[in-house]
Amino acid sequence: MNETESFDLLFRSYYQPLLVFAQQYVGDSDDCRDIVSAAFEDLWRNFSRIDHQHVRAYLYTLVRNKCVDHLRHRGTRRQYIEFVTILSDRFTDTDTLAEEDDRRHRVRQVLALLKPPADAIFRECFLHQKRYQQVADELGLSLSVVKKHMARALRVIREKYLKKDA
């Protein structure tokens, strides 16, 4: 019997049982057919190198591994879809975008009102979210000077913006 006839016999003997086997892992019959077909494709590519006495075990192992890969890929795809959904919800919410834009505009207005070094201190603490001590060290100032300038900046914000909203 030549390789083609031998392969054809294996295909007819194992295709249906492998579909049932894959169904236990994956569940979707279309995916199972794809997985089993891919397993037979791999078998055909390596047919001359495979020990034909163990071809049944080889096929079942191949299908199991392909099912696991498929499930892993499906899980990764689901996580990606969830991530993109969350991300797109965040950036397509026009109310949130408008609020963020308004906040940025107000911060720019506050920065324009502040004089050096208060503007640099406010920028570092508020925009770059640095700790007061870190800003003091970077700018060569004392911690109390940084606190004093931040208190002034926050007072300007309260006076200018919180009274308007009330």
What pLDDT, on the 0 to 100 scale, is given for residue 49? 85
d(CA 161, CA 60): 70
For residue 118, the model assigns a pLDDT of 84
Roughly how many angstroms between the first and final C-alpha of the chain, as a whole number?
A: 91
**What sign for the dihedral angle of Cα 138, 123, 121, 150?**
negative
**Least confident range of 72-81, 112-121, 131-140, 142-151:** 72-81
Buried b / exposed e along 16-53 (16+ C-beta atoms within 10 A): eebbebbbebbeeeebbeebbeebbebbeeebeeeeee
pLDDT in tens, 56-83: 888 898 999 898 888 887 776 676 566 6
More confident residue, 127 or 12: 12
Residue 90 scores a pLDDT above 70: no
Picking from 166, 100, 127, the residue whose alpha carbon sits closest to that of residue 150 is 127
User: What tokens were used for 128?
Assistant: 């770059």
DSSP 164: H
Res 4: pLDDT: 86
pTM of the model: 0.48
- 3-class secondary-structure state, position 166: coil
The answer to which of 45-49, 99-103, 113-117, 128-132 has the lowest mean pLDDT is 99-103
- Contact indicator for 67, 25 with CB cutoff of 8 Å: yes
Average pLDDT of the chain is: 81
Q: What pLDDT band is residue 166 in, cutting at 50, 70 and 90?
A: very low
Q: In the prediction, which pLDDT does 41 show?
A: 92
**pLDDT tens, residue by residue, 118-129:** 888 888 887 788
Q: Which two tokens stand for residue 148?
A: 């004093």
Residue type at 15 in one-letter notation: Y
